[in-house]
Every structure is written in C-alpha cells, then in structure tokens.
Structure 1
Amino acid sequence: MLRDDIGTPPGQVVASFAAWSWGQAYGWPLDGIVRPQALATVDGIAADCSLDPVGDVVLGLSALGYAQTGFLRSAADRRPGWDQLIARNSNPDPKGVPVFFAQGSLDALVEPATTRDYVGRLCRAGTSVTYVEVPWASHGGVVKAVAPMAVSWLLARLSGAPVPNGCLRAGR
C-alpha cells in the first residue's frame, strides 16, 4: 500500500502512520527515515487519526504541506536498520491465521484496488480471507458499516467456530 500510494497526500498520511507506529513498536527513532522538518507533523498526524470528514480534511491539509518532498527521507527503505524493519512489515503473511478485511469503495486513504490485490495474494497463498467491500463507504464509513459484522466474525473465531473462506466464493 505504501509503495502504491506514497506519491499522494493520502499515501503520505499512511506513510506517517506506518513510520510512527513502527518507531514506537520497535523503539527506532523517527529521524532515521522522517525528514527533520516533518517530525512534528508526523507526530501530530499519528495523534489525530481520524474517521470523520473534518478530521480527514485536517489530515489532508497536514499532508499537503509535504506534497513536493514527502515526509520520508529519500531512500528511507534502504536506511540501515529501517530497511529490514520495512521489509519485515511489508506484505505480511499471516501464516495460517484467518483474516477479515473491510474496504469502502470510496476510500480515499486506502485504495480499494490495493486491498483487493493484497486479498488476492493472501488467497493464492492459502490464507482464509473474509473480504467485505462496502459500496459508497469512505475510510471511516466502512468502519461504522461493518463493525457488527467484524465483531461477530471475531467472536466466532474466538469460540472455535469453523473459519469461513471467502476466497473460494470469490474465485480468488
């Protein structure tokens, strides 16, 4: 997803989420891959994760300031240490763990085609995937639309119910 969208303002927001969360999870300083002038903005975006239209505008405006340069240093994916971290967190293989995906057809942050491509790769690798694409839903709208379905799916997994495999029905 980062590779597909990095040149767009939504892609910059996703890149900032990824960099910030990986820095937090693995204890790596952001200045290794984030441009010094963008550090405060990346921290702000991470703190303002939004699922509403007003918040989306704020995130978009924050990203627009870096439309020409982006948040990340050049060749961020090849910086020592970060290169391995990025590789380890790119195209993860859930290794036998069933996955639930929900995608809004009007999502401007995560492109539906990118999600469909990833779901197809997981299906071809033998992962059991439940994929729901909600027509006319935005990034935040899909969360509201599928929350009950996602909770039911998770409760069924926790109770040991058989895992549905949407890959077979979708021909993926």
Structure 2
Amino acid sequence: MRHLLLLLALAIAAPPAAQAQQAGSLIAADPMTDTPPGVQAWRVQYWTSNSKGERLRVTGIVAAPREAVPPRPRRVIAWTHGAWGVAEKCAPSLSPNFFAASVGMDAVRQGYVVVAPDYIGLASPTMHPFLVGADTANSVLDAVRAARAISGAAAGNDFAVWGESQGGHAALWTALQARNYAPDLRLVGTAAAAPPTDLAANLRDGSDKNARALLLSFTLHSWSTLYGYSMDGVANRTNQGIIRRLAENNCISLEKKPKLGTILGVLTIVRATKNKDIARIDPWGGFARANSVDAARVPGPLLIAQSSKDTIIAPAVTRKFAKSVCRGRTRVRWIDMTGDHGASAKDSASETIGWIGARFDGQAPPDDCRRI
C-alpha cells in the first residue's frame, strides 16, 4: 500500500512528458558571471516546435537589469541575431564576444529584458534551418515565453522584436507568426535592420559576390540537409563538397580574417554559381519564395533600417519590400543609413530603441511611407 501511495503521489506531482516538453516551457536557466556592469543574464534551454510539430530543445540568453525585481513585469525585446553560421558551434550564446557583438543587449541598460534565442540547431545537434521563416519565428516566440519563468528577469507578456540581417528576416517572420502561434503574447512593434525579404533576390543581387557565395553555401547546405534537396542543379559533386565544408567549418566573425582554405572555397563557389539563380531552379526557387516575407501580411507598426551602401542586402530589394508594406496601409518608420552591412543595427540602435519605447508607451507610430 505504501508503494502504491508513493506512485500515486509521484503521478500527481510530476507533469506528463507532453506537458513538460510543451513549446515555450523553460528547461534550465543558468546564471552567467561574465556579464557587463548592471546586467544579469542566464544561459537558457527551452522547448520549441518546428513546422512539423516536432518538439526541439533549443538555447539562448536572457538578460535583465541587475536590480530589484519591479512590482510590474518588465518590457521585453526579442533580439534576433544576424548570421553567425549554420554549424552547431556557431551559436551566439557560445561566444565569449556575445555581449559585445549583440547590439540588442544595449536595451538592458534602459530597463528592458532582452531575450536572445540561438534559433534551432545552433548549440543543439539539429541542422540549423537557415532563413526558414516559420521554424525560426517559433523559436523566437518560445524564447519570450520561456523567459517569463525566470523570476529574476520579471519578463512580461508584452514584447517587441528587433533583429539585423538574418535576424531582420527572423523579426519579420516573428511578426507574421505571433498572433496565431503565441496568442498569449502581445507584440507591440517590429524592427528590422537590413532584413532579407525576397530570398532569391537577396542571394542574387548583393554586390559583394564573396559574401553572397558564403551565404548561398549556408543556405544550400541547410536546406539540402533538412529537406533532402539535391544540389545537382546548382553545383557539381566536387563543388557540393566545398559547399558542405564551407558551411560546416565556418562561423562568421567580424574580429577574425578568414582562413586561406575558406577564401579559396568561396572563390570556387563564386565561379561555380556565377550564372545560377536559385529562383529558377526547383525545388530551391519554390522554397525561397515560401520563406520570403509576404509584405501584405506583415502587421504594423514596423521599423526598417537600411544602408544605401549595403553590399550584402541590396538596398533596392529592401526598399521595394517597404513600399509593398506601405501599399497595405501599414505604418513604416524608415531609417536611411550609409554604413556597411555589419553596422546596420549599431548605426540605427539609438533611434530603434527610442521607437520601441514609444510603442510600449502607446504613442501613435510615425509613418514614412511617402518618402520611401
């Protein structure tokens, strides 16, 4: 009888496996010691789900002001990072330069909780779904949910999403997914710096051919691994091997120069894909279109920051997207810049954080559609 009562007690106390792995539930939050002054942070693990409904364990960082827990929940910003690579080792949360390289963390000093997901497959053994909109958005929304379980963070249900480069694409997709996937959260605004929007055009029209070749390699490796797409229509078997090695061995770092092998590999893929447009090669073209951002569906308010001298995300592609959003009468704040691609979020950070604060305050959003 004693054993029976013990089993019954355990059954009542322990949540079912399905409940324990519910998307958005926190698995672990380990306090970090190497944080900037005034910032407390946790390396987190949490559950998310992909478009197939599979539960996946993912990682990230949650940061908050190092001060007493306020009487009301703190405002939340989901910081969606740019491209760090597609290999497991490329996760931002594993980098000793995380805080220095993550512009979104600047908002912590202004009282925000900043939630920074690694996305699926970075710091976890699943292949990273590079530029796959819905899967990435799910991981962002579930990170915001999971942060609410950290008592010291005091994260609320209201959030903004802000990202650069690949993270700009993630931010826009998060806005698309938020209402249906996470109705328990309230999105107040979306900010995207140099976002890929039309994926085929972005992979084709950037003026830096070397960066284009590396990003194309990340894309081809990720999608071929995840979905079984053949690269035969894009590259021969020798060059497919080079693409795989570029993707598996390289994380993007602005502090280090690329190795000679990487340089030679990139130059080879530049030549091999010179006249290739994935928009015209099935199934790549269809998948690129499916994961581009549908301007007609993007909810406002929206901020887009774009440099006219960006050599990776073609300014004309971003401007065309913004005009399409405007045609749907969505209010768009447009920030013109002149720096390089890697400085997109940094150069627009002050104005973006101010714009986000105004959204939380309930102010009417500005509209630059007439001058875009």
1:123-162 equivalent positions in 2, closer than 5 A: 123-135=326-338, 137-162=339-364
TM-score between both structures, scaled by the size of structure 1: 0.68
Off by >6 Å, runs of 4+ in structure 1 = none
- Whole-Å Cα distance in 1 between the matches of residues 267 and 301 of structure 2? 37
- Whole-Å Cα distance in 1 between the matches of residues 279 and 207 of structure 2? 12
Higher normalized helix content (fraction of residues) = 1
- Whole-Å Cα distance in 1 between the matches of residues 325 and 210 of structure 2? 27
2:304 is the counterpart of 1:106: no
Q: Secondary structure at the match of 1:85?
A: helix
Residue among 216, 225, 245 paired with 1:40: 245
- Larger RCO, structure (CA 8 Å, separation 6 or more): 1
After superposition, give the CA deviation of every residue in 1:73-95 in whole Å (9 maximum; x if it has no partner): 88575434x44321211242243
Specify the structure having the higher radius of gyration (Cα): 2
2:237 is the counterpart of 1:28: no
* Runs of at least 5 residues in structure 2 that lack an aligned partner in the other structure: 1-201
Pick closer, same or farther for the CA change 1:74–1:121 going to 2, 3 Å. closer
1:104–1:133 CA contact under 8 A, matched in 2: yes
After superposition, give the CA deviation of every residue in 1:57-78 in whole Å (9 maximum; x if it has no partner): 639935323111139x885754
Pick closer, same or farther for the CA change 1:125–1:2 going to 2, 3 Å. farther
Q: What is the CA-CA distance between 1:149 and the residue it aligns to?
A: 1.8
* Runs of at least 5 residues in structure 1 that lack an aligned partner in the other structure: none
1:68-87 equivalent positions in 2, closer than 5 A: 68-70=271-273, 78-80=281-283, 82-87=284-289
- Residue in 1 aligned with 2:318? 115
Q: Secondary structure at the match of 1:68?
A: helix
Q: How many residues align?
A: 159
Q: What is the CA-CA distance between 1:133 and the residue it aligns to?
A: 1.4
Q: What is the CA-CA distance between 1:22 and the residue it aligns to?
A: 5.8
After superposition, give the CA deviation of every residue in 1:89-121 in whole Å (9 maximum; x if it has no partner): 124224323322212233221222332222222
Pick closer, same or farther for the CA change 1:132–1:20 going to 2, 3 Å. farther
Q: Secondary structure at the match of 1:2?
A: helix
Pick closer, same or farther for the CA change 1:146–1:75 going to 2, 3 Å. closer
Q: What is the CA-CA distance between 1:23 and the residue it aligns to?
A: 6.8
Give the aligned residue type for 2:246. Answer: T
Higher normalized strand content (fraction of residues) = 2
Q: Secondary structure at the match of 2:270?
A: coil
Identical-pair percentage: 24
Give the aligned residue type for 1:28. Answer: Y
- Residue in 2 aligned with 1:64? 267
Q: Secondary structure at the match of 1:148?
A: helix
2:313 is the counterpart of 1:89: no
1:77–1:86 CA contact under 8 A, matched in 2: no
Q: What is the CA-CA distance between 1:17 and the residue it aligns to?
A: 4.7
